[in-house]
Amino acid sequence: MQAPSMVWTIYVAFGGAAIQALLPKRSNSTPALSRWLALLTALAALCIAAAGFFTHVGSGMDVLTDHAWIPTLGIHYLLVADGISRMLVLLTGLAAVAGILFSWTVTNRVNEFFAFYLALIGGVFGVFLSGDLFLLFVFYEIAIVPKYFLIAIWGSTRREYAAMKLALYSFVGSAMVLIGALAAYATSGSHTMSLTALAHSHLPIGFQMWAFPLVFIGFGILAGLWPFHTWAPTGHVAAPTAASMLLAGVVMKLGAYGCLRVAMGLFPHGMDPWGFAFLGLGSWRDVFALLAVIGIVYGALVALAQTDFKFVIGYSSVSHMGFVILGLMTLNTIGLTGAVLQMFSHGIIAGLLFAIVGRVVYERTHTRELDVLEGMHLAKKIPFAAWAFVIAGMASMGLPGFSGFVAEFQVIVGSWSFGPAWTILTGVGIVIGVAYTWRALQKAFFSDKPAHTAEIQGHFAPITWPEWAGVGMLLAVTVAVGLYPRLILDSIEPAVKALLAGGAQ
């Protein structure tokens, strides 16, 4: 029997969202029904994604569906998948299931929560599978609105501020992308919005020189590119657990994917040398590599100074996404492969960390202040959280045996041939990464500081099955990819090579 095409991930997610929105709101059984329906929807999407991924390992770009959509403008409803898209769809499926498992305790407006959640997921699937620039943009914007409501309605710390900031940053970014896309469409004159056709339409180099940074920054905003990252920490902290997991896990990847597929795919000559050097920077490529390295080091340093547990993870995301951008800018197979693998790896690990901090720990202690957590001896109270965080922390630091190691190692190797100075600075970032992870781990779980009050000495609720399942699933994936990276690499390497051969130089 043939597995259903990956396009069904999109329809399943949107269909699930529509059903959630239409569920009756008053009956008592609605929350449970709504949760199970959401979980089933996400599982179905995950199964389709996994089937699509594993049956197409190593194969090239497939056209999944192609209909003329708006003939007057040459716009097609074109869905395609190559190794990179398939991997990211798989990641989205995993993150979606995990996110729902960790939202089992949402009690307020449950069906609306899952409706927005699944709409966001559907938009993300759509972006990863779009083969038409216009369609990609449509899905990209569909993903913005649910994020706003997820944070503004179900969030915590300064939720309305964070939600609006995130929405406006995203929208400004997408406005930049839209300008670039319209300009590319008008300039190419080829009456098509297909990514492949536009990439082959020989856009003038002078045009690419300004379109590339415009679109790259537009997508880079969502990828947490320094200095446009400031939405990320506030957004991650304010968001409910599942939304933080999605933000860090897949939404930031939307940005990175756009940088790779659109900015670098359509405007490869935008990365050519300018012909002069300014402060040692001779091209947009140098500029963005520098921003990436600054992001790595800066994110790590700021994470080191945070007092809120979730902010530590939030800034660590900025740091880790720096690796993705740096890897993209190396423009060699190993660096790019590392960047793409880092998207996957960070998606899983950041999701795990946010789940532990936001759900497993916070919903029992009701605080995220590291100083308060110090007095709680959580390693004894919630050993499950402690050990899960130890393992996730090791993965996040980039220890061998976890997916993060393979990815960051490749990025660093790739960056050496590009510029040893970048590599050394990045190494510093990794060391600081170890430091902030240890610091958070030690303070939150293994402190021997005496307990301050009697009331927090009480027992915490036992670990529930959704937590076990979610943590177990994500840990298994990161270990599996760490021990046997070919699982993912076999898919992304051919795609990266094709991309390097076809567009990006």
Partner 1 sequence: MNWMDLFHATLPVTVLEVAALVVLVFDLALLRKAAANSRLAGAVVLGVLGCGAAAFVFYHHTAPLFASNHALLYNQAYSAVAQTAIFALTAMTLLLLPGTKFTRHPAEIVATVLFAASGGLLVVAARDLLVLFVGLELLSLSLYIMTAFAKSSEKSAEAALKYYLFGGMSAAFMLFGFSYIYGLTGSTGFDEIIQSFQQTGSAQSPLFLVAMVAVAAGLGFKVAAVPFHLWAPDAYEGAPTPAAAFIASVSKVASFALLAGLAYSAAFALHNGKLPVAHIAANNRVVAVILFLAAASMVVGNLAALAQTSVRRLLAYSAIAHAGYMLLGVAAAALASDAEAMTRSVNTVLFYVITYGLTTIAAFGVIGVVEQATGSNKLDAFSGLHKRNPLLAAVLLILFLSLAGIPPLVGFWAKFNLFAAVLGTGSGVVPFALVALAIAMSAVSLYYYLRVLKFAYVVEPVEGAGKITAHPVVLLVLVAIAVAVVWIGCAPAGLVDWIAKPGLPLL
Binding to partner 1 by residue 142, rule CB under 8 A?
yes
64-97 as b/e: b if 16+ CB within 10 A: beeeebeeeebbbbbbbbbbbbbbbbbbbbbbbb
Any idea which residue has 């049956």 for tokens? 55
Stretch that binds partner 1, among 80-88, 148-156, 222-230, 386-394 (CB under 8 A): 148-156
Binding to partner 1 by residue 117, rule CB under 8 A?
no
Binding to partner 1 by residue 294, rule CB under 8 A?
no
Binding to partner 1 by residue 311, rule CB under 8 A?
no
Q: Shortest approach of partner 1 to residue 286 CB, angstroms?
A: 26
Stretch that binds partner 1, among 147-155, 290-298, 379-387, 404-412 (CB under 8 A): 147-155
- Residue (46 or 135) nearer to partner 1, CB: 135
- Residue (25 or 380) nearer to partner 1, CB: 25
Q: Which two structure tokens, joined as six digits, stand for 222?
A: 């969502």
- Residue (204 or 400) nearer to partner 1, CB: 204
Q: Which two structure tokens, joined as six digits, stand for 169?
A: 């940053």
For partner 1, how many residues bind (rule: CB under 8 A)?
33
Binding to partner 1 by residue 267, rule CB under 8 A?
no
Q: Shortest approach of partner 1 to residue 134 CB, angstroms?
A: 8
Q: Which two structure tokens, joined as six digits, stand for 182?
A: 């319209």
The C-alpha atoms of residue 415 and residue 397 are separated, in whole angstroms, by 19
Q: Which two structure tokens, joined as six digits, stand for 406?
A: 């393979």
Task: Using CB under 8 A, pick the residue from 1, 186, 279, 461 that binds partner 1.
Answer: 186
Binding to partner 1 by residue 197, rule CB under 8 A?
no
Binding to partner 1 by residue 272, rule CB under 8 A?
no
Stretch that binds partner 1, among 164-172, 254-262, 305-313, 413-421 (CB under 8 A): 164-172
User: Is 110 within 8 Å of 129 (Cβ atoms)?
Assistant: no
Residue 74 CA neighbour count, 13 Å, CB half: 14
Task: Using CB under 8 A, pick the residue from 23, 51, 57, 153 that binds partner 1.
Answer: 153
Binding to partner 1 by residue 137, rule CB under 8 A?
yes
Cα separations in angstroms, 36 against 39, 42, 142, 143, 471: 5, 10, 24, 23, 18
The C-alpha atoms of residue 313 and residue 295 are separated, in whole angstroms, by 14
- Residue (218 or 295) nearer to partner 1, CB: 218
Task: Using CB under 8 A, pick the residue from 40, 168, 424, 501 that binds partner 1.
Answer: 168
Stretch that binds partner 1, among 87-95, 165-173, 334-342, 417-425 (CB under 8 A): 165-173
Binding to partner 1 by residue 148, rule CB under 8 A?
yes
Q: Which residues contact 330 (CB under 8 A, 6 or more apart)?
A: 289, 336, 339, 411, 414, 415, 417, 418
Binding to partner 1 by residue 19, rule CB under 8 A?
no
> Residue type at 295?
G
Binding to partner 1 by residue 27, rule CB under 8 A?
no
Q: Shortest approach of partner 1 to residue 72 CB, angstroms?
A: 6
Reported in sequence order, the residue ranges of 141-280 that DSSP labels E, i.e. its strands, are 273-278
Q: Mapping DSSP to helix (H, G, I), strand (E, B) and coil, where does residue 200 land?
A: coil
Binding to partner 1 by residue 138, rule CB under 8 A?
yes
The helix (run of H) or strand (run of E) holding residue 65 is: strand 62-70
Binding to partner 1 by residue 152, rule CB under 8 A?
yes
Closest Cα partner for 158 from 251, 233, 252?
Answer: 233
Closest Cα partner for 241 from 367, 116, 321, 352?
Answer: 352
Termini Cα distance of the chain: 40
Task: Using CB under 8 A, pick the residue from 62, 141, 272, 308 that binds partner 1.
Answer: 141
Q: Shortest approach of partner 1 to residue 128 CB, angstroms?
A: 17
Closest Cα partner for 9 from 43, 54, 58?
Answer: 43
Binding to partner 1 by residue 435, rule CB under 8 A?
no
Q: Which residues pair with 283 in a beta bridge?
A: 273
Binding to partner 1 by residue 18, rule CB under 8 A?
no
Q: Shortest approach of partner 1 to residue 66 CB, angstroms?
A: 16
**Which residues are near partner 1 by CB under 8 A?**
21, 25, 69-73, 112, 134, 137-138, 141-142, 144-145, 148-149, 152-153, 160, 164, 167-168, 171-172, 174-175, 178-179, 182-183, 185-186
